[in-house]
Amino acid sequence: MIQELDRVVHQWCDDNDRWMYIEYDRDGIVMGLNFMQGDEYECFKKSWCVSDKGLTAFYKQMLYTFATEQKNVPEHCFINSCMWAYHSAISEYEDNNCKIGNAKKCCKAISGR
């Protein structure tokens, strides 16, 4: 089934110092996400208002993995938690020079073994 974009929300999250880009379908289901740290709204609108496919896929997986947690917090809080987890994993991966073909080094660096 193909989702059809119904609305886009630009939400400022003061607690996390970020702009969030959220796409919703007609049923009110999140179908796309992105974010930018910092409060520079013009920069956010110019460069970050497009769905990040990796972040969106990660979020959708977290809906199933942490279904109980997701139901017990406001939507924007769960989205922010997913954004932090996704960003942290990507940063750790990049900081440890983890590239395709370098999986053993990456796994050792992340696990500390």
The pLDDT tens digits for 26-45 are 999 999 999 999 999 999 99
Sequence-distant (6+) residues with CB within 8 A of 70 are 62, 63, 78
- pLDDT value of residue 102: 52
Write down the pTM of the prediction.
0.78
Host H or E run for residue 30: strand 30-37
- pLDDT value of residue 104: 52
Q: Name the stretches of the chain with pLDDT < 50.
A: 106-113
- pLDDT value of residue 57: 96
> How many whole angstroms separate alpha carbon 23 and alpha carbon 31?
5
